Every structure is written in structure tokens, then in C-alpha cells.
Chains A and B, each alone.
Chain A
Amino acid sequence: KAGVTQTPRYLIKTRGQQVTLSCSPISGHRSVSWYQQTPGQGLQFLFEYFSETQRNKGNFPGRFSGRQFSNSRSEMNVSTLELGDSALYLCASSKGGLVEKLFFGSGTQLSVL
């Protein structure tokens, strides 16, 4: 059974650009959640999608958005990148939501120059 796949693995962008990250969940999982991990702030919850609907949301500005497709694949978009957006972005999938066992991907390492 394939695990959670995140692409790309690494990204380098400049301030002001936008970026789209992709996450393919484990087959049969309908919940996809996204997290930002930095050395200073640790892991922070961005949002969770379930059956193509954003169900839960963290405390990030509107520049961070996402969507989920009918096959449960999810994308996260960050517009108008800032230096502070440099981080490892992790996605996790589960069958039913945040309170179930989350399966994490390897993450996308985003560097904003």
C-alpha cells in the first residue's frame, strides 16, 4: 500500500511569488491535513480537508489556502510569499479526520529567498 506522497520534495522561490504544493493521500483516506514545521515554531496546523470541503482551519493568514479533489488529492497554495514562509510543509491523511491515526508524508521543503 503506497504511503502519503508529497511533491515536490524541495522548492526555492523568491518573495512575492506564489507556490502550489501537492499531496496524494493513502488510497481510501478521505481526510487530508496540512502542517507547517519550522525550527522556531515547531509544527503548526494549517487546515484539514474532508471530501473536498475544508472542515477545520488553523490560525494562518488568507495567503495560505488549499483544496481537495474528488480523488482526495490535495493542494496547498501560498500566495505573495514572505521570507517567514520558509518551512517544511507536511501533509497527513487519515480515513476520517484529525482524531484518527494520521499518516504523514515526507514533506516539501520550501525556501523563500
Chain B
Amino acid sequence: AQSVSQHNHHVILSEAASLELGCNYSYGGTVNLFWYVQYPGQHLQLLLKYFSGDPLVKGIKGFEAEFIKSKFSFNLRKPSVQWSDTAEYFCAVTSPGEGNYQLIWGAGTKLIIKP
């Protein structure tokens, strides 16, 4: 079965540090890739997505992600984090299977930014 792995369940950084959250998926075919974020007390919302084309995707709030097909990875990055980036981050992949599509989610990474 297809799966999505997020390597770090908890990450603690200081403000202005650089961020990279790992995401690997298992499906070898064509995929659509997403990063969603849930800020404290808020609903899940889309940060960015990749369908095709330029493997470096830019999203909201200064986030970007790079799709590396050979590594089955879609890591999320931000050059300088802020306290307001404290949230839980989820990687997700659409994966076809038996005539339909599923949206497979990683376990999430809880990011805490120390002021």
C-alpha cells in the first residue's frame, strides 16, 4: 500500500532559524503532492502543492517545497522561521489505486518556534 513518511514528529527551532521538514512517499507513478498546515485553534489549510513542471514550488507565508522524483521526496523549507509558524504540518499525496484515487497523509510534524 502507498504510504507517506514524515521523518520528524516534533521539531523545535528558534526564530530566524532555517527549516526543512522531510516527506517521502512510496508510490512510483505520477503523484500530486501537498503540504497542509494546522495552526493552533485553526482548521487545516493548504500551504502549497505540486502537480507538474518546476519541481520547486512556492507557497504561502514564505514556504517552498522541492519535488525530487528520484528520491520520492517533497521536503518543505523556509529560510527563516517566525514564532507564528508554530503549527502542525502535514504532507499528503494523491495515489491511484484499484480504479480510484486516495489522499494519503503523513503522520504530521509538530513545529514549535521559540521566540
Binding site for A on B (CB under 8 A): 1, 32, 36, 43-46, 49, 51, 90, 92, 94, 100-108
A98 adjacent to B103 (CB under 8 Å): yes
CB proximity to B under 8 Å, residues A10-44: 33, 35, 42-44
A101 interface residue per 8 A CB criterion: yes
Chain B contact residues: helix, strand, loop or mixed: strand
A93 CB to nearest B CB, Å: 11
Inter-chain CA distance A42–B104, complex, in Å, is: 10
- Tell whether A43 pairs with B90 under 8 Å between CB atoms, given A90-B44, A101-B46, A104-B44: yes
Which residues of A lie under 8 Å from residue B103 when comparing CB positions? 33, 45, 48, 98
Inter-chain CA distance A103–B38, complex, in Å, is: 12
A59 adjacent to B45 (CB under 8 Å): no
28 CB < 8 A contacts A-B: A3-B43, A33-B103, A35-B105, A42-B90, A43-B90, A43-B92, A43-B105, A43-B108, A45-B102, A45-B104, A48-B101, A55-B100, A56-B100, A56-B101, A56-B102, A57-B100, A58-B102, A59-B1, A59-B102, A90-B44, A98-B94, A98-B101, A99-B49, A99-B51, A102-B46, A103-B43, A104-B44, A106-B43
Contact with B along A78-113 (1 / 0, CB 8 A): 000000000000101000001101111110000000
A2 CB to nearest B CB, Å: 13
A3 CB to nearest B CB, Å: 7
A42 adjacent to B105 (CB under 8 Å): yes
Binding site for B on A (CB under 8 A): 3-4, 33, 35, 42-45, 48, 55-59, 90, 92, 98-99, 101-106
A103 CB to nearest B CB, Å: 8
B43 adjacent to A45 (CB under 8 Å): no
A106 CB to nearest B CB, Å: 6
